[in-house]
Chain A
Amino acid sequence: MRKWLEEIARRWELFVALSVFFALPAFAQGNYEIQVYGAATVEPKTTMFELHSNFTIDGEKARIDGVYPTNHQEHETLEITQGINDWSEVGFYVFTSIQDGHGWQWVGDHIRPRVRLPDSWHWVVGVSLSTEIGYQRAAYSPDTWTWEIRPIVDKSVGRWYFAVNPAFERTLHGPDVNQGFQFAPAVKVSYDFTKVVSGGVEYYGNYGELGNFASLHNQQQQIFIVTDLNVSPKWEINIGAGIGPTAATDRWIIKGILGRHFSWIKQPDIE
């Protein structure tokens, strides 16, 4: 039995090591919206409503510089994304937090325009670029105004799906305002087990300031085992559990994303 457990542990370590190795760039989005973006944008005249539900099972337990501890925080984020045309969209976020002793609190809002390469360019990979700017209360993040630029590249190859988000984050107001861009990559690798069920790994990191990366100990590193359920083109379902192996990262988080697309035009029968 012990030998079997050791073997499991060894394989898990190997798995984590490989995941980190292949996770070239990525991005730690805070624990409000834990998602590696695909390159596709929401269709024009269509709105996507997504609920991101994340619970920190084992996180920071102390209040540091006035910031609430993340341990046992439940984050509920509403994302509303409107498709503009066949190559752009705008997303709007409402971040909230639920925690014993603090109740259900509004945390902040972000806005995120995004453009992508038109299909007519026939690139072999999907490419898009998003930029996100927003505010979060100091009780939940010492940096209250932040800005992010996120290139997105993805590709499906047979049953495999790859997405890379080498994001750059900048503080506009807060203690880190004098720092430059931080490098916050995210990567997803998944496999279609069936037409409906896909499973894979998502990696989120924040290495610190470009040119002056933090030590590994102080970097944010999160690895999630996830599953996507492709039940319908109208629905998006993603469930995962993640571990933060470094001291600067919450230890255990579970996450779920439930999304639904609504078209605001009556599709004529002839279409």
Chain B
Amino acid sequence: MLSRRGILKLGGAAALSAALLKAAHTPVDPDYSIEIAPFLLEISPKHTVKTIAYNRQIPGEILRLAEGRPVIVDVTNHTSREEVVHWHGLFLPSDVDGAMEEGTPMVSPGSTVRYTFTPRPAGFRWYHTHTRAGDDLKAGQYTGQQGFLMIEPRKAMSAYDREFFLALHDWDGQMFSSGDGSMNPAYNFSTINGKMLGFGEPLKVKQGQRVLLHILNASPTDPHWISFSGHQFRVIALDGNPVPQPQTVPMLRLAPAERVCAIVEMSNPGVWVLGEVRKHIKSAGMGVVVEYSGYDGAPLWQQPQTLNWNYNQFAALVESRDSEEIVSIPLVFESKFAGHGAPDRWMINGKSYPDTEAVTLRKGQRYRLQFKNRSTDDHPVHLHRHSFEIRTLPRSQSTRGIVKDVVLVPAQSQVDVEFTADNPGLTLFHCHQQNHMDDGFMMLFRYA
């Protein structure tokens, strides 16, 4: 429940949702409760990470919600900082979406806030903190505040025998000046579901099973490449949205906040490793053992020699024509050098948040966001409260049918996406890389 202090504080926020206020006085049990508290995570018998977790586990528990059915989630903050939980990938009102920039009230230390919302659309989403970390590489998304959110569709997306949820994360980061002069974190440890390779429970499967993997990159800053030795992935959904052309691929690339749903045919009995393709990250711990029933021994890893990924392979084959007027909004990403001992300041159209211009949208209008990345960093950009369709990829690849809420815009390239402004309210757009959003890579859309 909200404390008096919390209510007074929230009372000042014009955007406080009726749902939140109502919830504060309604003795209805929540469907879920999330306790945010400090936590000592043992990533291996030799390594522990002092962090913050949801309900004393990393990743937080899987919240399975029915599409279109209202849900109540109580969030209690046992830390000393204000917190907020973002329901990533859902079409929610601004005041419960989970971004203070949109007007969602923060959860004060020691208080409880009730989130009441109707989850949609169906698919694999996630929930995570949306606070600023700044120089503190043990705050914000650098912590263990992330969990899976499965919005159950009315109709199953694909037949499967078994499913696993896997969250990738990097720990114990330190800022380093990179080759291009900007600063980015480098990490000492990397995990899947909070464990280094060899120290978590193996994924136990049986020969002949069709296993559905829901993989989330919850890293605060780094993309990850994942392969499953002896097996291939049949990608059926990106960011929780079914792809027009499911494809079988040898590896996955997930930028921060991206999700991939993939079916794996368990047709190669043995003990295998599913892990990061790049050696230095796998040796930092990012991997999990997959064990067929009746098999044991040392897990096998087959080292891929190339990195291979392209969103376009999942696109619709037929190019459909645009039947409506589309308004283009160019967004130029640039950085401003602040010294080799300081992170770059990030800018959208020449300005850093909070000075970025809030673009006004008209309800029902279709927009094309033209992401022009003139910087030397890749950017996984995220649009809150909406999904978008990728329309143009680097080297002018035209594409259709891939619907996402995060897209990686490579350095020195352009990616275009389209979305329909159909969810009025303040809408945050930002780079999902924690240090980039902290250093100005954010802007708001507002509805007319």
Contact = CB atoms under 8 A, between A and B. Distances in A.
Interface string B323-358: 000000000000001111110000000000000000
A156 interface: yes
A42 B305 CA distance: 26
B308 to A, nearest CB: 10
A195 B280 contact: no
Interface stretch (B94-102, B115-123, B152-160, B173-181): B173-181
Given A269-B306, A271-B278, A122 B341 contact: no
Interface string A178-211: 0000000000000010110010000000000000
A233 interface: yes
Nearest to B337: A195
A120 B307 contact: no
A59 to B, nearest CB: 34
Given A194-B337, A269-B307, A230 B279 contact: no
B339 A192 contact: yes
Contacts of A270: 225, 277-279, 304-307
Interface in A230-271: 230, 232-233, 268-271
Interface string B266-285: 00000000000111100000
Interface in B179-195: 179-181, 186, 188
B172 interface: yes
A159 interface: yes
Interface in B296-327: 304-307
Contact of A158 (B172, B225, B280, B341): B341
Contacts of A230: 181, 340
Contacts of B337: 192, 194-195
A157 interface: yes
Contacts of B279: 268, 270-271
Contacts of B180: 195
B305 A158 contact: no
Nearest to B304: A270
A136 B316 CA distance: 73
Contact of A160 (B177, B280, B341): B341
Nearest to A192: B339
Contacts of A155: 341
A7 interface: no
A161 interface: yes
Nearest to B178: A233
Contacts of A122: 174
A120 B342 contact: no
Contacts of A13: none
A118 to B, nearest CB: 10
Contacts of B179: 232-233
Contacts of A195: 180-181, 337, 340
Given A120-B172, A270-B225, A271-B279, A158 B342 contact: yes
Interface residues of B, number: 24
Contacts of A156: 177, 339-342
A230 B339 CA distance: 12
Contacts of A119: 174, 176, 186
Contacts of B338: 158-159
Contacts of A161: 340-341
Contacts of A269: 305-307
Nearest to A232: B179
Contacts of A268: 279, 305
A161 B177 CA distance: 13
Best-buried of A120, A192, A270, A271 by chain B (most CB within 10 Å) = A270
A70 B181 CA distance: 39
A158 B339 contact: yes
Nearest to A119: B174
Contacts of B225: 270
A198 B339 CA distance: 9
A192 B306 contact: no
A127 to B, nearest CB: 14
A190 B172 CA distance: 30
A174 to B, nearest CB: 40
Interface string A97-132: 000000000000000000000011010000000000
Contacts of B339: 156-160, 192
A27 B270 CA distance: 61
A232 B305 CA distance: 27
B51 to A, nearest CB: 15
Interface string A151-172: 0000111111100000000000
A233 B306 CA distance: 24
A165 to B, nearest CB: 18
A192 B340 CA distance: 7
Interface string A76-93: 000000000000000000
A158 B175 CA distance: 13
A157 B341 contact: yes
Nearest to A196: B181
Interface string A208-235: 0000000000000000000000101100
A99 B304 CA distance: 57
A269 B277 CA distance: 11
A159 B341 contact: yes
Contacts of A271: 278-280
Contacts of A158: 338-339, 341-342
B280 A159 contact: no
Contacts of A233: 179
Contacts of B280: 271
Contacts of B186: 119
A120 B171 CA distance: 11
Contacts of B306: 269-270
A157 B179 CA distance: 17
14 contacts: A120-B174, A156-B342, A157-B339, A159-B338, A159-B342, A160-B339, A160-B341, A161-B340, A161-B341, A195-B181, A268-B279, A270-B225, A270-B279, A270-B304
The 10 closest A-B pairs by CB, nearest first: A156-B341, A159-B339, A158-B339, A233-B179, A158-B342, A195-B181, A195-B337, A192-B339, A157-B341, A120-B188
Given A120-B188, A270-B278, A270-B307, 11 more contacts: A119-B176, A122-B174, A157-B341, A160-B341, A161-B340, A192-B341, A232-B179, A269-B306, A270-B306, A271-B279, A271-B280
Interface of A: 119-120, 122, 155-161, 192, 194-195, 198, 230, 232-233, 268-271
